[in-house]
Structure 1
Amino acid sequence: MTEERSVDLSGGLEDVPVLCEFSVFLQYSTDNVQGLGCSVDPSEVTLPGCSCISHSCHPETCSCLQTSGKAYDDTGRLLNLDGPESGYSSPVFECNALCTCSDTCTNRVVGRGLRLRLEVCRTKSKGWGVRTSEEIPRGTFVCEYAGEVISFTEATRRQLSQRAEENNYIIAVREHAGTGSVTETFVDPARAGNVGRFINHSCTPNLYMLPVRVHSAIPRLALFAGRCIHAQEELTFDYSGRYGAQKPVEALSGDGLKRKRCHCGSVNCARFLPLDLSILS
């Protein structure tokens, strides 16, 4: 009998190893990559940087913070922790590679990458999952949901060709800025992704997703702790973007679509994973 040895799923790309006891084929990427139909390279620095020379930026003088306001406290945790339950969140712009502030600036959180010890593991009924090896305080950045950034047309094609038994989920994020102005981002981690692609859906999640812009106008889909999370607890988020007191997504039936069953076990389980019907229209 051979002894299983944990390996670093990231292959050294993350500052903190992502442990996994099984070999998993994955083109690991710590950030989004350019996919079919995406005209912009998400890794290219396209946003301007601030000219702050202080250890940490201040809203009164920092151009990055003046764009969206201060999002994090001095420990790097989110300040507006009630926003997710309302169903809306304000945009977040972090300091980037062009900024002259310190690498430890409090407006550098998602851009600094993974800082927590996470493990990819097998679950009883959901296939792969992710658990934390340490306690995570509420509001802490956990990891990104990284993958290929693709167009609406490509997202539709991939969604329609996907089999019900395939464990992959294309995330669609829509940001509204004024009347009639909507920015759409589609991220598919099937071919390239990070540890976030193994995080399961739950109708009662402990993480929530927030679009954060660092180097590029294309947002990074950052996952934050919606509550205090205990060591060895499985990490989950609602694939529909819902969190907290928001109304659960109703399951559709009789529409002939390849709905994937939900096995989260929550009291308010909707029985099926969320499905973005607008992608299929």
Structure 2
Amino acid sequence: MKIIIGDCLEATFPCACTRETKAVFAYIRVGCLKEEFLQYDWDKTEDEEKQIPFCASGWHCPIERSKNPHECKGCIGHVSRKFIKECWHKCGCNMGCGNRVIQRVITRKLQIFFTHEGKGWGLRTREQLPAGAFVCEYVGKILANMEQDERNNNAKADPTITHTYPILLDGD
């Protein structure tokens, strides 16, 4: 038996990250999302969320453990949704791990261009991409809702600021 260390998609014994995802990896070997993640409805309504199975982790529930690691109570039930958790430097996996996609350098041929429609700058690929391919990470500053509102109000008063691009994250 060949023991592979540092690559969870190939390893006989994957790293500790797999406990949180129940050994469900989001990626296939070539760095694309699996079909089940592509088909998953990430924008479920409240009524639809109630139909999602509740956590069955019991005493090993990561949410309950995060509340108080010294006095972990059994899980009382919460919505259990799909999520993507990548390996990282502290779990023992190397950068070649198949479960580390976003952390690598950009591997796609990209082009930044100015749109003809007057909408500003855009980004496009210069190649055909397979379904679920990772393109690049969009990075910006994380703001509290109040700070974002203040910036938007200031932008309205400042004629030099023509666009803001807020993206709502799942939480405050």
TM-score range, shorter chain: 0.5 to 0.7
> Greater share of helix residues, 1 or 2?
2
Residue 87 of structure 1 corresponds to: 43
CA distance in structure 2 between the aligned counterparts of 1:92 and 1:159, rounded to whole angstroms: 31
Residue 172 of structure 1 corresponds to: 168
Q: CA RMSD in A?
A: 2.5
1:75 aligns with 2:30: yes
Structure 2 regions of 5+ residues with no counterpart? 45-80
The one-letter code of the counterpart of 2:30 is T
Number of residue equivalences = 124
> Greater share of strand residues, 1 or 2?
1
Structure 1 regions of 5+ residues with no counterpart? 1-51, 175-182, 185-281
Q: How does 1:118-137 map to 2 (within 5 A)?
A: 118-125=110-117, 126-137=119-130
How far the C-alpha of 1:53 sits from its partner, in A, is 6.0
The one-letter code of the counterpart of 1:82 is Q
Secondary structure of the structure 1 residue equivalent to 2:103? helix
Secondary structure of the structure 2 residue equivalent to 1:121? strand
How far the C-alpha of 1:55 sits from its partner, in A, is 4.2
Q: Which has the larger radius of gyration?
A: 2
Q: How does 1:4-153 map to 2 (within 5 A)?
A: 54-58=5-9, 61-68=14-21, 69-79=24-34, 80-84=37-41, 87-88=43-44, 90-125=82-117, 126-153=119-146
Task: Give structure 1 regions of 4+ aligned residues with deviation exceeding 6 angstroms.
Answer: none
Secondary structure of the structure 1 residue equivalent to 2:90? coil
Query: What percent identity do the matched residue pairs reach?
Result: 31
CA distance in structure 1 between the aligned counterparts of 2:40 and 2:101, rounded to whole angstroms: 18
The one-letter code of the counterpart of 2:26 is A
TM-score, structure 1 normalization: 0.40
Secondary structure of the structure 2 residue equivalent to 1:110? coil
How far the C-alpha of 1:132 sits from its partner, in A, is 1.0
The one-letter code of the counterpart of 2:39 is D
TM-score, structure 2 normalization: 0.62
Alpha-carbon displacement from aligned partner over 1:151-199 (angstroms, at most 9, x marks no partner)? 222112112222397233011111xxxxxxxx33xxxxxxxxxxxxxxx
